[in-house]
Structure 1
Amino acid sequence: MSKPFDMELFLAAVLTGSHATRQRHIRQAKIIQAEISERWHRQTPWAWQKKHVDWFLEHRLNRRREATRYYYLLTARLLARRLQKTWVFKARLAAIAR
């Protein structure tokens, strides 16, 4: 039996800011992980492709408030930074970040 993936340990290298901010990123990353795992059966971020994160941001957050989508976008950027990927997310979400 394998151990569950530790998202907190995975993000530890890129997390900065207050305790509340770090906890929010960890909580949101776990939600992203659970949704991608359920949809594509990709258990860890190492197995993800950009399309998986795009899907989450576009389809799972489409009825959420703009502020919520923005905070998830920040978490997605942290995940990409930790994976050392140069992912750029779609313009609709990027416009929120301004």
Structure 2
Amino acid sequence: MSKPFDLELFLAGVLTGSYVTRQRHLRQARIIQTEIAKRWHRETPWLWQRKHVTWFLEHRLNRRSNATRYYYLLTARLLARRLERPWVFKCKAKI
């Protein structure tokens, strides 16, 4: 039996800000992880490619408000920073 992937531990080195901000990033990262795992069966961020996160941002959030999409974009950038990948995501949200 394997342990579930701990996103809180994974993001601990790059999470900054207030307690509420850190909790929001963790909650959103878990949602991103769940949706990517359902669609592509990739359980951990180490297995993700840029196209997986882009798919989430473009297709799973297409009916959400601009503010929601912007906050998920910030979480996606945080994930990319933690993975040390040079991913750039375009923001379609008008904030």
TM-score (norm 1): 0.93
Within 5 Å, which residues of 2 pair with 1:1-98? 1-90=1-90, 93=91, 96=93
SS in 2 for 1:96: coil
SS in 1 for 2:16: coil
SS in 2 for 1:89: coil
2: CA distance between counterparts of 1:63 and 1:73?
A: 15
- Give unpaired runs (5+ residues) of structure 2: none
Q: CA deviation at 1:97?
A: 7.5
Q: Which has the higher helix share?
A: 1
2: CA distance between counterparts of 1:96 and 1:55?
A: 15
Question: In angstroms, what is the RMSD of aligned CA positions?
Answer: 1.2
TM-score (norm 2): 0.96
- Alignment check: 8 A CA contact 2:66 2:94 kept: no
How many residues align? The count is: 95
- Give unpaired runs (5+ residues) of structure 1: none
4+ residue runs of structure 1 moved beyond 2 angstroms? 95-98
Q: CA deviation at 1:40?
A: 0.1
